[in-house]
């Protein structure tokens, strides 16, 4: 009787140990991130780069165009070693930025497809994150949620820097 009870406990512990070590959650379609009105696609790309590389604030000179700032940040980021890099730009093309994150043996690659209305984040591939059959380790989802949060902040900050809309005065309007 005691041997059976002990065997059940050992089996239960093994099942728990195996189950918690190989956790996975379903990969769901991510909701599109809305771009604030007034931002063009160059500025959206800048927001994505800011979210991915997370540069120190003093590295950003906003008196340049969005494309120039994007290039300056990417150039500066490859020369830094004092800050811990978590996400990095893998490649860029019009309408899409491809980013990766490496932490030890764990790797995640995502695409950030964008226009002046929205940004869509999709998982492309992973290593050592138990991705198979529409499932992935919950850590990958947390990484993406952090990136999306940074992207929303960058979009909001860039939208706040827009000049106020011009007030048109119509000829003949009573004033």
Average confidence (pLDDT) over 71-91: 71
Per-residue pLDDT of 25-78, as tens digits, reads 999 999 999 999 999 999 999 999 999 988 766 656 667 788 887 777 777 666
Task: Quote the CA–CA distance of 175 and 162 in Å, as a whole number.
Answer: 28
The pair of three-digit structure tokens given for residue 135, joined into one six-digit string: 């499932």
Comparing 2-6, 89-93, 149-153, which segment has the lowest mean pLDDT? 2-6
pTM value? 0.75
Residue 34 · residue 117 · CB < 8 Å: yes
**What is the overall mean pLDDT for the chain?**
83
Q: How far is CA 153 from the centre of its chain?
A: 11
Q: Which of 115-129, 139-153, 159-173 is predicted with the least confidence, judged by mean pLDDT? A: 159-173
SS3 163: coil
Q: Tell which wins on pLDDT, 108 or 81.
A: 108
Q: How confident is the model at residue 82 (pLDDT cuts 50, 70, 90)?
A: very low
In this predicted structure, the answer to whether residue 166 has a pLDDT above a threshold of 70 is no
The distance of Cα 137 from the centroid of its chain, to the nearest Å, equals 17
- pLDDT of residue 126 exceeding 90, the answer is yes
Closest CA to 26 of 97, 154, 123, 152: 123
DSSP 82: S
Average of per-residue pLDDT across 83-111: 92
The reply to whether CATH 3.30.310 applies to domain 21-159 is yes
Which sequence spans correspond to the domains of the chain? 21-159
Average confidence (pLDDT) over 100-116:
97
**What's the pLDDT at 60?**
63
């Amino acid at each position: 009787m005691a041997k059976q009870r002990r065997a059940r406990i050992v089996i239960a512990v093994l099942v728990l140990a195996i189950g918690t070590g190989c956790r996975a959650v379903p990969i769901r379609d991510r909701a599109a991130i809305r771009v604030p009105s007034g931002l063009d696609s160059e500025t959206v790309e800048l927001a994505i780069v800011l979210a991915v590389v997370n540069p120190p604030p003093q590295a950003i000179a906003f008196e340049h165009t969005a494309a120039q700032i994007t290039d300056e940040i990417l150039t500066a980021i490859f020369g830094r070693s004092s800050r811990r890099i978590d996400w990095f730009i893998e490649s860029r093309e019009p309408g899409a930025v491809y980013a990766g994150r490496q932490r030890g043996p764990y790797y995640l690659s995502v695409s950030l497809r964008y226009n002046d209305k929205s940004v869509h984040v999709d998982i492309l591939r992973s290593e050592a994150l138990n991705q198979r059959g529409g499932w992935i380790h919950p850590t990958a989802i947390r990484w993406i949620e952090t990136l999306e949060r940074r992207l929303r902040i960058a979009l909001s900050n860039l939208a706040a820097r827009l000049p106020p809309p011009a007030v048109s005065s119509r000829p003949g309007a009573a004033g």
